[in-house]
Amino acid sequence: MTEDIDIDDIDAEFLGQEGKAVSGTSRMEAAYGSGDGDDDLTAQVAKTGVVAGTIFDTSYRPWRGELNPRWMRNWSMLRHHLLGFVKKGHRPWSIWMKLALFGCLIGAMGDLAMAFLGTVIGDTDLYRMFGVSRGNLYGHVLGFFPRNALCFPLIAALLIGGMISEDRRHGTSAIYFSRPIERRDYTAMKFLTVAIVLSILIVGTLAIYYLGDILLRGEGWSWLLDTFPMFLAAALAGFLLVFTYTSIGLALSSVSQGRFFPAVAFLAIFLVSKLLAFLIWQLFERSVIYLISPYDCIAHLGQTMLGLSSSYEHPWTWSLVSILVFNAVALYVLTSRVSSMEVTRE
Amino acid sequence: MMTDENSRFAGLDRKASALAEFTIRQYRTKLSTWVVMGVGLLAILMVLLFHIQAMSSTQDAIDNDFDSYDFDGDGYPNGQEIRYQTDPRDNLDHPGLLEGDISPDDPSLYINEDGFDWELDSSKIQYIGYDDDGDCLQPEAGSMVTDSQKDSNGDGHVCSIKVAWSSLDNRWYISSDAGVDEDPDEDEFYHEAIHRSFVIGFGKVGFVLLIGIFLPLFLASGLIRQEIENDTMHYLIGKPIHRAEVLIYRLLGFMAIGVPYIAILVLLTAIVVGLAAPGDSFFRLADIGIWLGVMIAAWLMLLVYGTLFMLFGMIHRLGAIAAIVLGVWEFVLAMISMADPSLLIARLSVVFWGMTIVDACAMMVYPDTPVMLAQGRSIKSNSEWSLETGVLFSPDQMPGTGALSSFWNETALGSLSPFMTLLVSVFVLLTLAASFIFIGQAIFKGKEIS
Amino acid sequence: MIPDMSQRGNAPEETPVQAGAPTVLLDGVSKWYGSIVGLNDVSIAISGGVSGILGMNGAGKSTLFKILTGKLKPSQGTVRLFGIDPWQSTKPFGRIGFVSESEKMYDWMTGLEFVATMARLHGMTREEAVKESERVIEFVGMSDAKNKRIGKYSKGMRQRIKIAHALVNDPDLIILDEPLQGCDPLARTTIMNVIRELGAQGRTVLVSSHILQEIERITEQIVILHRGRLLALGNLHAIRSMLDKHPHSIRLTCDEPRKISQHLVNDDQVFGLQFETDDTLIIKTQNLGEMHARLPALIRQSGIRVTGIDNPDDNLESILQYLTGGES
């Protein structure tokens, strides 16, 4: 009983015609269409003595409903990841994660606190040490100890730990990929989640520091015009740092199945490369080794952007190339792992 | 074929070897083992490349006292003019005017001509040093330098260097008269200093700190945790083996992988560094003492950290956080141990004791390093100007002194001799390992595996 | 009173460590996790033969096995294997073999290596271990696949290797948790034969399974758990007959069920009659044995040709259903 079905675009896609990739609509059909037409079905129970079998005709009726626009689906994913911080019923954040993030946020604003203290108690030296300046803007984002040695990498490691690896381990990636969600979007939203939190921590606190300092100093527009480019440069360096942390972290999370290994490997990559480079610098006074340390590459770029004197002897273009290579490799690993991720439990 | 269950020690070694062998074979099949070991090897090779490059480079010879230059442009180097007591700043006064046919010397004769002739004794104040080029004893002609002027440091000894060891500050105090031992050989000093710094520095940071922490972190954490997570724990637990034994034998398997790995790496490094070492001999055998120390320190770190991380792996969620916290703690205290090991807080870490082993061996193998450091700091920074040469500067310390001083530590265990320090550190590490195993098996015994 | 389900097998009896102590003894054992009760006051003593441990999901079977194998500690009560507490001492494990439910094994080992390593963990030397491993591998019928990696085994082969590893130390107590799950019918038969053979050798075998028909074929001694409580214990037919509330059914397949029913309806043992289909008749009776005794005479009297006599609800499934009220 085959009806004449018009093969238009939607059906063509569903029936697997050449050149049409299986997209969200067809997946919805597969999920929802199977229950359709139950009322029409007749079943024949084979009676005893019946020798011949029966072939049942199934008629497919493509689902022609409206999908939500892509950005709405992506937004719901992002929301699901971020809201878990405050609400139940979303992707859970452990209490340790929340505590650590809270602690690091407070710590990151230490320089603003010290500047504030300076104004309150009237100590101009303290204020001058911690107020906004080229060096302090740089230090807020790219200072090694304690920010980039402890705070930022630790938070990044905790964030990326279970991001993708938990999905692989528990098979919840099946929940995502059986819905009309592109794998690209899945990766992008996970990336954005980590990036947003890290940006708040690194660049958000920078903005608060800058703003707070304006209020404390009561500066006028001329000061603002002078210092705003520095602030922008520091913010740009901060975003580069966030991007690098996120891409390397998620790449690690996508190759493993636990939440422990990616976090530890992440910390290892950043801290060990820095330590090894530092060792060689101490011994042989060759700074080119710092190219293996992503943190130092970004620090070098940050110094160049902010107009600070460089503590490295090699040209900044080398650091730029190095950090681009790091990010490219990480993103490649991430995208290839996610695109080849099986939907069932591996 | 049943073991007599009344004597539960029957077959102890059989069970031990079975479980250890099983663990080793399990490691062989895991990718993470090979990745971690490969990355370690690569890192070491990279560092060795830098070392070889540094060792094969030649340091520029610096004329610290400028006597190879010709200030007055008369064709005779300053040093020759000083020797012949003519005025190096007067181009009308030069040795060519003296009796005999004195031709100008090759300027290179006057570079690095006055090196260190020191024999130090830390128990007393000494006045040492010999003025090889005579520019202190016979200064420039016509300058009528008195003895008190020759004794520029005012210690009553003409043209000498006063040295005294301060046990309070753990360093030599040097006060030199001008022109004594002022132009040593940079290349020779640099290579020796860098060689020593590398052996000590890389031994401490590369092997004890980095490999000592990261190998157990990646390999030993899963010893118990992986089995519980993979639901294969019952194969090991439901046997007539005590849980404590399971822990120890698994650790044994881990050590059986880590110990040869470190031995091979240390051997490789020792061979390469020994071949590249400065000095007359083809291969520096004396360094074996330090490399043995590095190897033993790294093995002990493997043992202690292996136990710790295996422990942390047992306590599911908290364990991972504890591992990260411990890692950070050890890193920070490692930095402190290297900067100032006399701080008591450094002793609260495991890595301090490992580094102390290396330091103790360094003290035994390179006992004259404080002398080298003193020498490195003894040269003075000079600057001169002349019409012919323009402005000249000389550095204030020998190249390589900075690196050597940052990695060299007098062992900080009070007044103990290096050998006793070594024994104490080994003992402390073994005790730590034993106590962690004891704690671990107590936790494991009471742990329910659902 | 702790019911004792001792059975005698054909093999000579092995003396347990404490003479007179049953192989498996649970006395008032309870286990709770926070507010969830895993086991609730369970008391059993088992010595010898095959016993089936049955129950719905969540009944407490896995908890029971974990307590027996020393992975969990009972919150209350005592557990004794061969007279020894498995949580305190690892001695009894030398005489126990445990086949767990989990499918995860060491995929990188070959079957022989796996069993031999487990054997060595019992304290055997390498040669002894290989010899014993080959013996048990042959016993479970895996000799030709013993040198293949476990990762390449089918489900049935994995189950058999698991059983082999549990048998390598010649255990007196064998515990099997869902040994038949995921196995194809051929493998199932093999495994069931193995279990029956083990029971016949006089060992104590505890088997838990969901596949009730298979359990019925292996043993008649059952333990039923429901929601952590011990619901029934003993011979399955005896238990069935104890269930007075539910009358037994006998199904007769014949040409004219209505005619035969006229002859049966007057019998005092007949509780009720039901016409299932055109050619089957269900007789409900309180006393199965008595009814069966009378049935041939009644049938001959009626003169109707009967082609089949069957007890549709004298099986575990019905028992389980009746006892648990059909709830899970």
Cβ of residue A56 closer than 8 Å to a chain B Cβ:
no
The answer to whether A271 faces chain B, any CB pair under 8 Å, is: yes
C204-208/C76-81 β-pairing: unpaired
Contact B328 A276 (CB under 8 A): no
Give pLDDT tens digits for A88-120. 888 888 888 899 999 999 999 888 888 888 888
B11/C104 CB distance under 8 A: no
| Residue among C66, C96, C122 minimizing CB distance to B450 | C66
What is the rounded average pLDDT of the residues C210-224? 83
pLDDT confidence band for A42 (50 / 70 / 90): very low
Of B308, B273, B305, B278, give the one whose Cα is nearest residue B288.
B273
Closest chain B residue by Cα to residue C126:
B14
Which one of A150, A259, A289 has the shortest CB-CB distance to B50? A289
Condensed to tens digits (0 to 9), the pLDDT of residues B353-408 reads 999 999 999 989 988 888 888 888 888 787 888 777 788 888 888 888 888 888 88
Gap between the Cα atoms of B238 and B236, Å rounded: 6
- Asked if residue C9 is part of any domain, the answer here is no
Domain CATH code at residue C305: 3.30.70.100
Per-residue pLDDT tens digits for A117-157: 888 887 778 777 888 888 889 989 998 888 888 889 989 99
Give the closest-approach CA distance of C43 to chain B in angstroms: 22
Same domain, B303 and B367: yes
- Give domain status of residue B65, yes or no: no
Domain count, chain C: 2
Q: Are residues B151 and B288 in the same domain?
A: no
CATH number for the domain harbouring residue C73: 3.40.50.300
Interface residues of B toward C, Cβ cutoff 8 Å, are 1-3, 5, 8, 10-11, 14-15, 17-19, 21-22, 25-26, 29, 230-243, 448-450
Q: Where are the alpha helices (DSSP H) in B30-77?
A: 31-56
Q: Which residue type sits at B402? A: G
Q: How confident is the model over C151-199, as pLDDT tens digits?
A: 899 888 888 899 899 999 989 999 999 888 878 888 888 888 888 888 8
B vs A contact (3+ beta-carbon pairs below 8 A): yes
Domain co-membership, C172 together with C300: no
Chains C and A touch (3+ CB pairs under 8 A): no
Burial class (CB in 10 A: 0-12, 13-18, 19+), B17: middle
Put simply, whether C91 touches B (Cβ < 8 Å) is yes
Mean pLDDT of all residues in A270-285 = 87
Rg of chain A over CA atoms, in angstroms? 27
What dihedral angle (degrees, nearest 10) is formed by the CA atoms of B42, B47, B51, B54?
110
Contact C204, C24 (CB under 8 A): yes
Domain that holds residue B288: 13-59+187-378+392-445
Q: Testing the interface with A: which of B33, B57, B205 to mutate, by most A Cβ within 10 A?
A: B205
Interface contact flag, B234 C71, Cβ < 8 Å: yes
Residue B163 in any domain: the answer is: yes
How would you write the pLDDT of chain B (450 residues) with one tens digit per residue?
444 443 444 567 888 999 999 999 999 998 889 989 999 999 999 999 989 988 888 888 888 888 888 888 888 888 888 877 777 787 787 777 777 778 888 888 888 888 887 777 777 788 887 777 777 777 665 566 677 777 777 777 778 888 888 777 767 787 877 777 778 888 888 889 999 999 999 999 899 999 999 999 989 988 888 888 888 888 988 888 888 989 999 999 999 999 999 999 999 999 999 988 887 777 888 889 999 999 999 999 999 999 999 999 888 777 777 888 888 889 888 888 888 888 888 888 999 999 999 999 998 998 888 888 888 888 878 788 877 778 888 888 888 888 888 888 877 677 788 899 999 999 999 999 999 999 999 999 888 887
Asked if pLDDT for residue A34 goes beyond 50, the answer is: no
The answer to whether residue B254 sits within a structural domain is yes
- Residue C226 and residue C256 in one domain: no
Looking at the structure, do residues B209 and B123 belong to the same domain, yes or no?
Answer: no
Give the C-alpha separation, B4 to B89, whole Å: 99
Confidence of residue A47 (pLDDT cuts 50, 70, 90): very low
Question: B206 and B266: one domain?
Answer: yes
Nearest to C121 among B10, B231, B239 (CB): B239
CB pairs under 8 A between B and C: 100
> Nearest-CA distance from A261 to chain B in Å?
8
Q: Cβ A94–B210 below 8 Å, yes or no?
A: no
How many domains are contained in chain B? 2
User: Is the CB of C117 inside 8 Å of chain B's CB atoms?
Assistant: yes
**Do C278 and C162 have their domain in common?**
no
- C8 pLDDT higher than 70: no
Q: What integer pLDDT is reported at residue C16 of this predicted model?
A: 43
Assess if residue B196 is contained within a domain.
yes
pLDDT tens-digit series, residues A296-327: 999 999 999 999 988 898 999 999 999 999 99
**Any idea where the domains of chain A sit in the sequence?**
1-67, 70-339
Find the residue in B nearest to C16 (Cα): B5
Would you state the pLDDT for residue B142?
56
Residue C206, domain member (yes or no): yes
- Alpha-carbon distance of B145 to B139, in angstroms, equals 7
Query: Is residue C3 one of the residues assigned to a domain?
Result: no
Residues contacting B380, CB < 8 A, separation 6+: B64, B176, B178, B182, B394, B396
Q: Is residue C6 part of a domain?
A: no
Q: Say whether both C232 and C286 belong to one domain.
A: no
* Cβ–Cβ < 8 Å for C205, C198: yes
Q: Which domain, by its residues, includes C302?
A: 247-312
B contacts of C73 (beta carbons < 8 Å): 448
Task: Look at residue A13 in the predicted model and tell me its pLDDT.
Answer: 45
Nearest CB among C72, C121, C170 relative to B2 is that of C170
Residue C19 lies in a domain: no
Query: CB contact, 8 Å: B197 with chain A?
Result: yes
Q: Is A333 on the interface with B (CB under 8 A)?
A: no
Q: Are residues B172 and B267 in the same domain?
A: no
Please give the average per-residue pLDDT across A188-217, as a whole number: 92
Percent of chain B residues past pLDDT 70, beyond the cut: 95
What count of CB pairs under 8 Å joins A to B? 72
